[in-house]
Structures are given as structure tokens and as C-alpha cells.
Amino acid sequence: MIEKNKLPNRKRTRLKEYDYSISAYYFVTICTQGKRKMFGNVVGTSMKLNQFGKIVKDCWLDLPNHYSKCELDYYVIMPDHVHGIIIINESRDESVTRPNKKNHGLSEIVRGFKSFSSKRINTLLNNENKFHWQRSFYDRIIRNEKELFAIRRYIEQNPLRWEIEKELPDNLEL
């Protein structure tokens, strides 16, 4: 039992000494709270997005408009999670888009994505069964081209693997 005013002991999900705002490719997985299937269905070998899935897609693709050093690579929206590659590019010219630059890190970008998409989805739900993302997210710093290729393949094949993955939801191996 957890004592009052004492937080549960949670596993740290980020590397302790790493600066997640530096230029790099990051693989992220963001899940719905309780693995609630909200974004559509896998039909055959492809994902068919519903209205909520389309909102998630729009919010994902809009991230570079909110975070000047953010670029997007491969991504897939599944019924209860999103896989994507976020690139933080410090050399991206911000003088036109954001004169008051701020160095946003990966957590800030993912927080923004969750916030933007949750607000839009919840306006359609009319206070019934509010939508929430899972508290944190999975990330992996992509270290080389071989890893990038493997992760891109994993993202592309995710709808094909849906039947296997739904039986083993914690399987995030590449």
C-alpha cells in the first residue's frame, strides 16, 4: 500500500545523463491509457483510421509547426498506440519560423503531441469516457544507420504484425 503523499517508485525511462534536446533520431512509442483501442482498426495488412486516428495523424504531422527543431520520419498509428521517429535537428533554421527560439527536448515534443491530440479528441467525446494517453512513453535513441533501417522496417510492418503484437502487447523488440 502506498503511503499518503509518497509517490510510487517508478522505473526511470530516460537515460540519466543524456540531453534529449540535442540533434538525434529518436524512436518513440506512445500508448493510450489502458491500451484502449481508439484510433481505428487493422484491416488485412493496413491501418484504417477513424475520426480519432485522423486527429492523432493531424497532430503528429503538425509537430514541426510548433517545435522548430522537430522533424518527422516514419510513423504509424495503430488502434491503441503510435510509433514514430522524431528527429531533433539543431541546425534547422529557426530565424524565420521562431525568432524567440527555445530548445525543446523530446519529452516536451511528446507532451505537446499528447496535449494537442487529447484536447481535440475530448471535444468530440462530450465528457463521456474521456480520452487519455498513458503517463509516459517509450523511447530509444537511434545510434546508427543499421538501427534506423531496422526501426523503419518495424514501423512499416507494424500493421502486418498486429495479430502477433496484440497477443504480446509488451513486445517492443525490433
The CATH code of the domain that includes 131 is 3.30.70.1290
pLDDT in tens, 86-103: 999 987 655 445 555 567
- CA–CA separation, 76 vs 60, rounded Å? 10
Asked whether residue 155 is assigned to any structural domain, the reply reads yes
- Is 49 inside any structural domain? yes
pLDDT given for residue 44 in this prediction: 82
Residue 10 inside a domain? The answer is no
For residue 40 the three cell numbers come to 481505428
pTM, full prediction:
0.81
Cα 155 from Cα 149, distance rounded (Å)? 10
Give how many domains the chain has, as a whole number. 1
Specify whether the CB–CB gap between 159 and 78 falls below 8 A: yes
3-state secondary structure of 109: helix
Predicted local confidence at residue 91, as pLDDT: 77
Q: Low-confidence residues of the chain, pLDDT below 50?
A: 95-96, 172, 174
18 within domain boundaries: no
Who contacts 13 (Cβ-Cβ below 8 Å, separation ≥6)? 136, 137, 138, 139
Residue 72 falls inside a structural domain: yes
